[in-house]
Structure 1
Amino acid sequence: MDKFSDMTLFVSIVKNQGLAAAGRELGLSPATVTARMQALESRYGVKLLNRSTRHISLTDAGAMYHQSCIDIIDRVKETENILHTGIIEVRGTLKICAPRDIGKQYISPIISEFCELYPDVIPYLYLNDNLSNVMESGLDLVIRYGELADSNLVSRKLVSSQRVLCASPKYLRKRGTPIIPQDLVNHDCLVMVRSNEELKTWYFQDAEHRRAITVIPKRFSDDGEIIRQWALDGIGIAMKSYIDVQEDIKTQRLVTVLNAYTKNFNSSTSSAGADLNVIYPSRQHQPKRLRLFVDFLIAHFSENT
Structure 2
Amino acid sequence: MMLNHLELFLLIIEKGGLSAAGRELGLSPASVSERLAALESHYGVALLTRTTRSISLTDEGRTLAEGARRLLAEAEELDSRVRLGAQSLSGPVRLSAPVDLGQARIVPIVDRFLDQHREVSVELNLTDGFVDLVSQGLDFAVRYGTLADSSLKVKPIGENRRVVCAAPSYLERMGMPLHPDELHGHDCIVMRFGINSDHQWSFLVDGKPYSVAVRSRRMANHGELVRRWALQGHGLCLKSVWDVQADLDGGRLIEVLAPYSAARTALQIVYPGTRSQPRRVRALIEAITTELAADDRT
- Specify if TM > 0.5: yes
Cα 1:213–1:85 change in 2 (3 A) is closer
Paired amino acid for 1:24:
R
The offset of 1:123, in angstroms, is 1.0
AA paired with 1:112?
D
C-alpha displacement of 1:68: 1.0
- Which amino acid in structure 2 is aligned with residue 271 of structure 1? R
Contact 2:144 2:160 in 1 (8 A): no
Matched, 1:27 2:18: no
Identify which of 286, 298, 304 aligns with 2:277.
Answer: 286
Aligned-pair RMSD on alpha carbons? 1.7
SS in structure 2 of the partner of residue 185 of structure 1: helix
TM-score (norm 1): 0.91
One-letter amino acid of the structure 2 residue matched with residue 131 of structure 1: F
Match of 1:271 among 249, 259, 264: 264
Residue 217 of structure 1 aligns to a residue in which SS? coil
Indicate how the Cα distance of structure 1 residues 284 and 52 shifts in structure 2: closer, same or farther if over 3 A, else same: closer
Comparing 94-103 and 51-60, the one that deviates more:
51-60
Q: Give secondary structure in 2 for the equivalent of 1:20.
A: helix
How many residues end up aligned between the 2 structures?
Answer: 296
Contact 1:144–1:279, Cα closer than 8 Å, also in 2? yes
| Aligned-residue offset at 1:285 | 2.5
Taking the TM superposition and a 5 Å limit, the aligned residue runs for 1:1-305 are 2-263=1-262, 271-272=264-265, 275-283=266-274, 285-305=276-296
**Which residue identity does 1:227 align to in structure 2?**
V
* 214-223 or 154-163, which deviates more: 154-163
Contact 2:66 / 2:275 at 8 angstroms: preserved in 1?
no
- Quick one: structure 1 residues 28 and 64, their matched pair in 2 at CA, closer, same or farther if it must change by over 3 Å? same
C-alpha distance in 2, partners of 1:5/1:114?
A: 30
Task: Tell me the distance in 2 between the aligned counterparts of 1:208 and 1:88.
Answer: 52
- Which amino acid counterpart does residue 293 of structure 1 have in structure 2? L
**Counterpart contact for 1:147–1:155, Cα < 8 Å:** no
Taking a change above 3 Å as real, the CA distance of residues 209 and 296 of structure 1, as seen in their structure-2 partners, is closer
Question: 8 Å contact 2:89–2:117 — kept in the other structure?
Answer: yes
Give per-residue Cα distances to partners, 1:98-133, cap 9 Å, x unaligned: 111111100110100111111111111221110111
Q: What amino acid maps onto 2:273 in structure 1?
A: S
Q: Which moved more, 1:106-115 or 1:202-211?
A: 202-211
| Structure 1 residue 298: Cα displacement | 0.6
Secondary structure of 2:287 counterpart: helix
2:80–2:90 Cα contact (<8 Å) kept: no
1:190–1:219 Cα contact (<8 Å) kept: yes
- How far off its partner does 1:91 sit? 1.0
Q: Distance in 2 between matches of 1:13 and 1:206?
A: 50
Residues 49, 173 of structure 1: CA spacing in aligned structure 2 closer, same or farther, 3 A cutoff?
same
Distance 1:42 1:203, change over 3 A: same
After superposition, the C-alpha distances for 1:193-225 in whole angstroms (9 at most, x for unaligned) are 111322112222223443322112021111111
Deviation at 1:51, TM superposition (A): 1.5
- 8 Å CA contact 2:69–2:275 kept in 1: the answer is no
1:198-254 deviation line (CA, Å, top 9, x unaligned): 211222222344332211202111111111111111111000111111111111211
Q: Does the Cα contact within 8 Å between 1:57 and 1:136 map onto a contact in 2?
A: no
Separation in 2, partners of 1:171, 1:198: 23
What is the deviation of 1:284? 5.2
Deviates more, 1:203-212 or 1:38-47: 203-212
Contact 2:109 2:288 in 1 (8 A): yes
TM-score for both structures, normalised by structure 2: 0.94
Per the alignment, do residues 205 and 92 of structure 1 end up closer, same or farther by CA in structure 2, a change over 3 Å counting? same
Q: What secondary structure, in the 3-state scheme, does the structure 1 residue paired with 2:86 have?
A: coil
Q: What SS does the aligned partner of 1:96 have? A: strand
Which consecutive unaligned segments of at least 5 residues does structure 2 have?
none
Per-residue Cα deviation, 1:8-28 (whole angstroms, up to 9, x for no partner): 111111121111121222232
Say which SS state the counterpart of residue 107 (structure 1) adopts: helix
Q: Percent identity?
A: 36
Q: Is the 8 A contact 1:156 1:279 kept in 2?
A: yes
> 2: distance between equivalents of 1:237 and 1:245?
13
